Chain A
Amino acid sequence: MLEITTLTHAYAGRTVLALDAWQVAAGEHWLLLGPSGSGKSTLLHIVAGLLRPSGGSVRLAGTDLYALPAGERDRRRGRSVGIVFQRLHLLEALSVLQNLALAQSLAGQPVDRRHLADLLSRLGLSERAAAKPAALSRGEAQRVALARALVNRPQLLLADEPTSSLDDDNADRALDLLTGEAKAVGAALIVATHDARAAARFVRHLTLPKAT
């Protein structure tokens, strides 16, 4: 599903990421570990098609992502990759429902109200559909961000530090949701974190070394 070979990335000549080979099969759950500055976020952005690596290749479902024209790469990200950020970045101008609808239409899909309603009710957000993000609790906002990542039934779900600002209970619940939902849509899941609490829940670990 995801196939990475001889990947390197450097910012202004400083190499922060070097990954010889890594394969993620469909539906697999991975934990991406490493100290701060080891390039976890960088790797996720590269995998999502948001950041062209300095070297190496990223194949997503058989296609070399960075051989595609930029517009095609954007479309592919919209349709097959869902991303949850540590800072949730919900669009404040839009309601919860509109945030989801936007993700659907920006990916080039028609807005499917039934699907959105189902998703919201599955995440316990039906009541909050019309609310603006500013009115949500942290837990609710987290679930909206997850719902947005799931809207287009991605093959690959990426989460960058989904638990770092949460207490133990909420961190547990967030991880439950992520893994549960990934399983429900059959998506491969990659969670980047330096939070040791998550380690025990994942069988597959990739640990990035601290950049030299």
Chain B
Amino acid sequence: MSALALAWAFLRHRPIEALVTLCLAALAVGTMVVLLLLDAELKGRLTRDLKGIDLVVGAKGSPLQLILSAVFHLDVPTGNIDRAQAEAVANHRLVARAVPLALGDSLAGFRIVGTTADYVALQGGRLAAGRLWQDELQAVLGASVARRLGLGLGDRFVGSHGLGAGGGHGHDEHPFEVVGVLAATGGSLDRVILTAVESVWRVHERKPGPARTGIGGIQPAEARDELTALLVVYRSPMAAAVLPRWINSETSMQAASPATEAARLFALVGFALDAFRGFAYLLFTTSALGLFAALYGALRQRQYDLAIMRAVGASRWRLFGQLLLEGGLIGLAGAGLGLLVGHLAAWGLATWLAASQQVPLSGLGWQWQELLPAGGAMLLAVLAALPAAWRAYRLDVAAVLART
């Protein structure tokens, strides 16, 4: 009968304490795994979206909001900017490339973005089918949009006013035609509908009635002299010292640095993650203490079993190892269950966030760092078993067996 089989039999004989500590360990490991996965995926996505963009220019307001709305398509825009001013920036000698964005409408919660072909290149997009827009009211769909809405080449749709999921009134008189579908990039490009800037202007021209205000109080870039934002790529590093200052002081626009704002966002998110991490450490401690108490407390009941094992030939070290093995097994099961629960929870949470908050997370994937909490749980379990193992090692067999 192997040490493993024996440990298993002992654990099964008194399963409650073992199960409780196992579940606590699994929760601790699971929490850490969820944090790791979501943190890594979020950072990965944000960094990919930001890649290549040196500066975002938009209406004055919160710089973080500007980045979120113009790059990640998460928040509402800060407002509109003057086309002439934007062109002045685009033509600046320190600017290599400037990509205009005109927002205002959406389809089933997906934003319709008026821009140029440069935007696709900047975000690393590639056509999966069809071609890019060449004329007004032609649209290219991000991969998720095409999949979720079931739209394909040649299909027609009308955008609705505003950026919210419910949308405002429809623009029935200006249907878009799908001319292309992009391949999935894993970035925010998957969640937008691209078209020419002129399409956005066209849809909002000579609109009757009072509806100048979009959903969320946002003015769509509707006049031919307005844009929502400008994504800027520098020609030389020197631009970083000159351009933002010039834009912020000499124009009515603001310039926000994606790097700075992303760092601020990570710090904000990191703070929340730290709180959860603290909670996970608490769970680790609780499960280790629980395991210690379970093993140590059971020694009184088990002293005869242990003494008999010695009487039939087991050495002191064998008993020591046997108890460590029991602790280790609980740790191992806790770690395994924790990894499983963590991945399931990350997937569930990401799916929920994606559906309800438009935060583009999948919760899938794998990080080598997961091995740290898993290994930590096992190590902690073995450590928690040490006192009990030491008592078993020291057991006075003759005294126990003489007791009747």
List the interface of chain A (C-beta within 8 A of B).
41-42, 45, 48, 50-51, 70-71, 74-75, 77-79, 83, 85-87, 89, 91-94, 98, 101-108, 111, 148, 152
Does B317 reach chain A (CB closer than 8 Å)?
yes
Pick the contact of B313 from A41, A42, A70, A106 — CB < 8 Å?
A: A106
Is the pair B404, A87 in contact by a Cβ cutoff of 8 Å?
A: yes
Kindly state the separation between the CA atoms of A70 and B314 in the bound complex, as whole angstroms.
Answer: 11
Q: How many A-B residue contacts, CB cutoff 8 Å?
A: 85
The chain A residue sitting closest to B307, CB to CB, is A89
Interface hits, B10-64 → A, CB 8 Å: 10, 12-14
Which parts of B360-394 form the interface with A (CB within 8 Å)? none
> In the complex, are the beta carbons of B308 and A50 less than 8 A apart?
no
1/0 per position for B389-404, CB-CB distance to A under 8 A? 0000000011001101
Contact among B307, B315, B402, B404 with A74 in the assembled complex (CB-CB below 8 Å):
B315
Main secondary structure on chain B at its contact with chain A? helix
Given contacts A93-B10, A105-B2, contact A83 B313 (CB under 8 A): no
Residues of the A chain whose Cβ atoms lie less than 8 Å from the Cβ of B312? 77-78, 83, 102-103, 106-107, 148, 152
A83→B310 CA distance, assembly (Å): 11
CB pair A85 B401 closer than 8 Å: yes
Q: Say whether, besides A78-B314, A93-B13, A111-B1, A41 and B309 are in contact (CB < 8 Å).
A: no
A101/B13 in contact, CB under 8 A: no
Is A45 within 8 A of B313, CB to CB? no
Q: A50 with B314: in contact, given A87-B404, A101-B1 (CB under 8 Å)?
A: no
| Nearest A residue to B9, CB-CB | A93
B308 touching A89 by the CB < 8 A rule?
yes
- Interchain CB contact under 8 A, B1 and A105: yes
Q: Could you write out 7 A-B pairs with CB less than 8 Å apart?
A: A74-B315, A83-B312, A93-B305, A94-B9, A98-B9, A105-B1, A107-B313
Beyond the given A74-B310, A93-B13, could you list 19 further A-B residue pairs with CB under 8 A, ordered by the A residue number? A45-B402, A48-B311, A50-B310, A50-B398, A70-B316, A74-B315, A85-B311, A89-B305, A89-B307, A91-B305, A91-B308, A92-B13, A92-B305, A93-B12, A94-B1, A94-B6, A98-B1, A103-B312, A111-B1
> Which residues of chain A are near B12, meaning CB under 8 Å?
93
Are A77 and B313 closer than 8 Å at their CB atoms? Answer: yes
A101 and chain B: residue at smallest CB distance:
B1
Binding site for A on B (CB under 8 A): 1-2, 6, 9-10, 12-14, 304-305, 307-318, 397-398, 401-402, 404
Q: Per a CB cutoff under 8 Å, which of A51, A102, A107, A152 touches B398? A: A51
Could you tell me if A79 and B313 are in contact, using CB atoms closer than 8 angstroms? yes
By beta carbon, the residue of chain A nearest B402 is A41
A91 — nearest CB in chain B belongs to which residue? B305
Please measure, in the bound complex, the distance between the C-alpha atom of A94 and the C-alpha atom of B10, giving whole angstroms. Answer: 8
The reply to whether A106 and B10 form a contact with Cβ atoms under 8 Å apart is no
Q: Which residues of A contact B401 (CB under 8 A)?
A: 41, 45, 50, 85, 89
Give the docked Cα–Cα distance between A108 and B2 (Å). Answer: 11
Say yes or no: B2 contacts A106, CB within 8 Å: no
Query: Closest chain A residue to B10 by CB distance?
Result: A93
Q: B399 — nearest CB in chain A belongs to which residue?
A: A51
- Smallest CB separation, B319 vs chain A (Å): 10
B309 near A102 with CB under 8 A, answer yes
- Please tell me which one of the listed residues A102, A108, A148 contacts residue B1 in the complex, with CB atoms under 8 A apart: A102
- Bound-complex Cα distance A41 to B9 (A): 31
**CB-nearest residue of chain A to B401:** A85
Closest A residue to B317 by beta carbon equals A71
User: Are B2 and A75 in contact (CB-based, < 8 A)?
Assistant: no
In the complex, what residue of chain B is closest to A111 when comparing beta carbons? B1
B310, chain A: closest CB distance, angstroms: 7
Closest B residue to A103 by beta carbon equals: B312
Across the interface, which residues of B come within 8 angstroms of A79, CB to CB? 313
**Contact for A77 among B308, B311, B404, CB less than 8 A:** B311
Q: How far does the Cβ of B193 sit from chain A's closest Cβ, in whole Å?
A: 65
Q: Bound state CA distance, A172 and B309, in angstroms?
A: 28
Q: CA of A5 to CA of B402 in the docked complex: distance in angstroms? A: 23
A54 to chain B, nearest CB (A): 13
> Which one of A41, A75, A103 contacts B315 once the chains associate, using CB atoms below 8 Å?
A75
The answer to whether A106 and B398 have CB atoms under 8 Å apart is no
Which residue of chain B has its CB nearest to the CB of A73?
B315
Nearest-CB distance from A12 to chain B (Å)?
12
Cβ of A41 to closest chain B Cβ, rounded Å: 5
The smallest beta-carbon distance between A157 and chain B, in angstroms, is 13
